[in-house]
Amino acid sequence: MGSQIGVTGLAVMGQNLARNIARHGFPVAVHNRSESRTKQLIERYGDEGDFTPATSLEDFVASLDRPRRIVIMVKAGGPVDAVIDELVPLLDRGDILIDGGNSHFEDTRRREKALAERGLHFLGTGVSGGEEGALNGPSIMPGGPDDAYAPVAEILTTIAAQVDGTPCAAHIGPDGAGHYVKMAHNGIEYADMQLIAEAYDLLTSGAGMSAPEIAQTFEQWNEGDLESFLIETTATVLGHTDAATGRPLVDVILDEAEQKGTGRWTAQSALELGVPVTAITEAVYARALSARKEQRTRAAGVLPGPAGGSTPDGFVDAVRDALYASKVVAYAQGFEQMRAASDEYDWNVDPGTLATIWRGGCIIRARFLDRIKEAYERSPELPNLLLDDYFRDAVAGAQDAWRKVVRTAVDLGVPTPAFSASLAYYDGFRRERGPASLIQGLRDYFGAHTYRRVDREGVFHTLWSEDGREVSAD
């Protein structure tokens, strides 16, 4: 008997995923382009399960049971195509390739189609949870044909994180659906982290608290509705002292945020779909602005801010409430985007399933996801989470604090792009009639772009140069 599954690409994520598979009793073949990593894995962890190390892709493929199940854990982009190209001649019809990296969903769609033409299955699979998750239970989002998922379902659901006995892995939909929702997960992760960073900024440069004090605040917040991996991790990072200087580590880390692309892709796709995901997009912009250190340093010396001021009473609690309300908006937007993408590409993605499998294993895991799961149970077709009773009440309860925090931020000159954009979205969303009538009027004036009326059916144009006479433009 051969191995039930193989993993090629043994950097930390691949290595940990292979160990996770082996620890659950599934015989696993392992392969890496440079042999030293394979050797190292076997030397260090070979006794954790039934590993079959392979030095060549030929041996690797030959050691697998059929249909062959191969997880590719290499860098997104060209390296995935390179591995696929090498593997394809060695495979037979019905074999299954599983790309577990952060691939762009359009690449996944292309690969799935090309491989299907050769009788091979492709599962573009989002895997979230970082190194620790890969080893001890990630959240897994496979996308591809039913025929490809069925033979790997048992392994994937077994190695995934489990919450209340439910695995954090489920078949998301066909072709690029799995990688799309992983991309959106990361976009939401960007928004979550930006909101946390803004809260930290308000408490430090606004309220003058130290990093250890803010660490304690986050620890307390983690006892309530905000309870999540990222809030808990924030408390850990803020509470950490730099060994070399004795200062809080966060104070010696350079303030330039890097990014690998998934947040940007989320924003790009949202723009194409016409879905306003302002919190995620502001988070991407904030990282870009942070990276302009040289320009910011120049500007800091010449651009004046407000005269100064203080934070109001109860500010810390208000920031917590503002963070929660903004987070609701960020998730409402992200889930709306995934629904729009699902409609656009005909994926039939179930948002309730996403909320369920994101409750554990992944980076955005949170108590909050239970609330989202419940909202979709109450109303599977819910168009926007803000319209759910629980979230409506949560935001209504937080809105005074939310407005106070944004006002204070403006007065103090502390930038809160994600807090502010979320609040603006909320106010825009709850308006039955907004100012777009004027935009339509302007468009009609300078470009005869026409408009519709509130009181009559049809399409109209005003002859602006002829005393504003109106004609039907049908």
Residues of the shown chain interacting with ligand 6PG in the complex, contacts defined by CB under 6 A = 102, 128-130, 186, 189, 259-260, 262-263, 362-363
Nearer to ligand 6PG, 71 or 401 (CB): 71
Structure tokens that stand for 232 in this block: 């808990």
- In the numeric block, which tokens belong to residue 392? 């409506």
Is 43 catalytic? The answer is: no
d(CA 150, CA 154): 8
Catalytic residue among 112, 189, 282, 336: 189
In the sheet that 5-8 helps form, which strands lie side by side, from edge to edge?
Answer: 51-54, 28-31, 5-8, 69-72, 96-99, 121-128, 139-143
Active site (annotated) includes residue 132: no
Distance of closest approach, residue 110 Cβ to ligand 6PG, in angstroms: 21
Residue closer to ligand 6PG by CB (options 80, 406) is 80
Out of 48, 106, 132, 182, pick the active-site residue. 182
Of 166 and 259, CB closest to ligand 6PG: 259
Write down the least CB distance from residue 370 to ligand 6PG, Å: 19
Residues facing residue 139 across a β-bridge: 128
Return d(Cα 313, Cα 245) in angstroms, integer.
34
**Residue closer to ligand 6PG (CB basis): 10 or 17:** 17
The answer to whether 97 and 123 are in contact (CB under 8 A) is: yes
Residue closest to ligand 6PG when measured from CB atoms: 128
Greatest extent of the chain over all pairs of C-alpha atoms, in Å: 87
CB-wise, 363 or 406, nearer to ligand 6PG? 363
- Number of Cβ within 10 Å of residue 68's Cβ equals 27
Decide: helix, strand or coil at residue 337: helix
Whether the CB-CB separation of 148 and 290 falls below 8 Å is answered with no
- Report DSSP letters for 186-246, one per residue: HHHHHHHHHHHHHHHHIIIIIT---HHHHHHHHHHHTTTTT-BHHHHHHHHHHTPBPTTTS
Cβ at position 343, least distance to ligand 6PG in Å: 24
Rounded (10°) angle between helices 177-201 and 417-429: 110
CB of 373 vs ligand 6PG, minimal distance in Å = 19
Please report, as a single letter, which amino acid is at residue 410. V
3-class secondary-structure state, position 450: coil
Query: Which residue, 41 or 364, has its beta carbon nearer to ligand 6PG?
Result: 364
Shortest reach from residue 128's CB to ligand 6PG, in Å: 3
Shortest CB 139 distance to ligand 6PG, Å: 8
Least distance from ligand 6PG to the Cβ atom of residue 127, Å? 7
Question: CB-based contacts of 367: which residues, under 8 Å, 6+ apart?
Answer: 225, 226, 227, 228
Quick one: 8 or 186, whose CB is closer to ligand 6PG? 186
Closest CA to 159 of 330, 303, 21, 341: 21
Q: C-alpha angle 367/369/373, rounded to 5°? A: 130
Given the complex with ligand 6PG, which of 108 and 128 has the nearer CB atom?
128
Residues in the chain: 474
What is 52-71 written as a DSSP string? EEESSHHHHHHTB-SS-EEE
Q: Least distance (Å) from ligand 6PG to the CB of residue 228? A: 13
Supply the residues annotated as catalytic: 182, 189
